[in-house]
């Protein structure tokens, strides 16, 4: 048995401990990437299988890199074998494709035993993903939501309402006015951008304090989602 293990180690140039270390490292780091993907997912259809594929894909690539080593013939053989397998599952979201590519890159780094590259790369990629997730970078939306309310015709409260919007919103724009309740009321529709997300309840509460205002409601949209 000892001779067999020695033969395996010398033939592959990688010890059993190194294989286990690389596979465990690939599992941990790919799990980090998969967790960041799950936290920042904003699509319409979440797939648990895709998250598992990221982790397992990284481990499989690490195994292939260790199996290839410096042997060119072995690399060409594995490449030919993989060419036979046709992966027909479509990846519709380019962001999902990038996450899968990141997991495979981590697997390559772990298989090549460049652990410092794998660890620092995972940290940097995760930080970049989180920053992009929480920032409005690349969003084309100029407003956070749609504010609607009704006022009696010729109401003196219009100036008070504008004061409330100026104190709670970074910007607001009147986009529609129409008659309601058989012409006795006017319905106003504003697009608004809040100074702070916590102000969404304050806007409604302050509008309800105005006697003439009725039916105030705020429909928010998430600025990080582009459909």
**What digits encode the pLDDT tens for the residues 122-169?**
999 999 999 888 876 766 555 578 888 888 887 788 888 888 888 888
Q: What pLDDT is attached to residue 88?
A: 67
Task: Supply the pLDDT for residue 115.
Answer: 92
Report pLDDT for 64.
87
Sketch out the chain's domains with CATH numbers.
Answer: 2-134 (no CATH), 145-220 (3.30.70.260)
pTM: 0.60
Residue 127's pLDDT is 93
* Rounded Cα gap, residues 37 and 132, in angstroms: 12
d(Cα 189, Cα 159) in Å, to the nearest integer? 16
Low-confidence stretches of the chain (pLDDT beneath 70): 1-13, 80-89, 136, 138-143, 183, 197, 221-227
Collapsed DSSP state (helix, strand, coil) of residue 13: coil
Give the pLDDT confidence score for residue 226 in this predicted structure. Answer: 47
In the prediction, which pLDDT does 125 show?
A: 93
Q: What pLDDT, on a 0 to 100 scale, did the predictor assign at position 27?
A: 95
C-alpha–C-alpha distance, residues 32 and 28, integer Å: 6
User: What six digits make up the tokens of 22?
Assistant: 């690389």
What value does the mean pLDDT of the chain take?
80
Contacts with 85 (C-beta within 8 Å, 6 or more apart), sequence order: none
Which residue from 177, 29, 203, 188 is spatially nearest to 103, judged by alpha carbons? Answer: 29
pLDDT at residue 7, as a whole number:
47
d(CA 33, CA 29): 6
DSSP states of 119-153: HHHHHHHHHHHHHHHHS-TT-----SEEEEEEEET
What's the start-to-end Cα distance of the chain, in Å?
60
**What burial letters (b/e) apply to 202-215, b meaning 16+ CB within 10 Å?**
ebbebbeebebbbe
């Amino acid at each position: 048995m000892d001779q067999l293990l020695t033969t395996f180690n010398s033939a592959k140039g990688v010890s059993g401990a190194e294989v286990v270390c690389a596979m465990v490292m690939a599992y941990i780091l790919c799990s980090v990437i998969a967790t960041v993907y799950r936290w920042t997912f904003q699509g319409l259809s979440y797939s648990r299988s895709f998250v598992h594929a990221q982790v397992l894909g990284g481990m499989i690539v690490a195994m292939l890199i260790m199996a290839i080593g410096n042997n060119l013939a072995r690399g060409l053989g594995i490449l030919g074998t993989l060419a036979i397998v046709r992966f027909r599952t479509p990846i519709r979201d380019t962001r999902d494709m990038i996450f899968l590519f990141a997991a495979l890159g981590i697997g390559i780094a772990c298989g090549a035993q460049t652990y410092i590259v794998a660890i620092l790369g995972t940290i940097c990629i995760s930080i970049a993903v989180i920053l992009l997730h929480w920032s409005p970078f690349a969003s084309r939306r100029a407003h956070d939501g749609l504010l609607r309310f009704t006022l009696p015709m010729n109401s003196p409260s219009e100036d008070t309402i504008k004061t409330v919007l100026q104190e709670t919103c970074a910007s607001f724009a009147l986009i529609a006015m129409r008659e309601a309740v058989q012409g006795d009321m006017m319905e106003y529709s504003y697009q608004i951008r809040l100074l702070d997300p916590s102000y969404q309840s304050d806007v409604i509460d302050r509008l309800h304090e105005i006697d003439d205002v009725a039916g105030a409601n705020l429909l928010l949209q998430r600025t990080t989602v582009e459909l």
